[in-house]
A and B are shown apart, each in its own frame.
Chain A
Amino acid sequence: MIVPFSHVLVLAGMLFVLGIVCTVARRNLIMIVLGVEIMLNAASIAFVGAASRWHNLEGQAFVLFVLAIAATEVSVGLAIIVYAFRRTGSFDPSAYNRLK
């Protein structure tokens, strides 16, 4: 007996909200990608908690795919950020308004 399942969900929800705040409020591209990572991590916590709740390995299998998607997203995202930084010299998303 560890904790009620709802507490795991609440923890995942709090982390997800923190990720949303980081993505929406920060005006720095690297912090925005970090916020997406935090949200993916919160989803993984919910999946592992559900796998433990129903004694089913399906949730844990899904976390493996979440990890792979996170790695893919971060590598392509950071490559695009570096590319955009060399073109504009800024990390501020509002500097990318020239559409060229």
Chain B
Amino acid sequence: MTLYTLLFYLVATVIVASTAVAITRRNLVHAVVYLIVSYFGTALLFYLLGAPLLAAFEVIIYAGAIMVLFLFVVMMIRIEAHEEVFFPLSQWLPAVGFGAVYLIAGSVMVFKTPGTEVKLDLVLALPRDYAVYVFKEHWLSIEIVSLLLLVALVAALHLGKGNDKGAMEEES
């Protein structure tokens, strides 16, 4: 067992544990902060698997931008401490049963498919090579994605503005 193997299992444990804690919190701020821990772990994992640029993006976009957006929404809206009602157990049992069947089938597939027992090599995609590859092979997709981000910006703006107008009409 090399140091990298040990690091992988350590980081994987932290990711799964912090995500499991995050999805069970009642306090939304706690959940978001635990998820930030999980995303930092994911960034470490990306670095370990040879994607340093994606590790930086994970920290900047996921842990930085997206989670801060969640925090802003949680802070902007006062949340009364309402008790979440969970579904009764009788509704859960069929879902859990079907899920367990898929889980067994999935793990058998993962471990029995030839090629999955191959150990990962230590590789490194330099940011320069990665950028050259992306802009050579996927330049059109990059443009489409940038257009999508513009559409999202316009949509968020429109929802925010239309909301004020609707509230005023309701009051009058």
Contact = CB atoms under 8 A, between A and B. Distances in A.
Contact of B12 (A11, A68, A86): A11
Given A5-B118, A61-B137, 4 more contacts: A38-B19, A45-B42, A65-B145, A67-B58
A80 B73 CA distance: 11
Contacts, number: 207
A72 interface: yes
A34 B74 contact: no
B107 A10 contact: yes
B28 A28 contact: yes
Contact of B77 (A27, A57, A82): A82
Contact of A30 (B8, B74, B95, B106): B74
Interface in B35-77: 35, 38-39, 42, 45-46, 48-51, 54, 57-58, 61-62, 65-66, 69-70, 73-74, 76-77
Majority-rule SS of A interface residues? helix
Interface residues of A, number: 67
Interface of A: 1-11, 13-15, 17-19, 21-22, 24-28, 30-31, 33-35, 37-38, 41, 44-45, 48-49, 51-53, 55, 57, 60-61, 63-65, 67-72, 74-76, 78-83, 85-87, 90-92
A57 B77 CA distance: 42
B155 A68 contact: no
Given A13-B106, A72-B149, A5 B51 contact: no
Closest 7 CB pairs of A and B: A22-B23, A6-B116, A79-B159, A72-B152, A79-B156, A68-B145, A2-B120
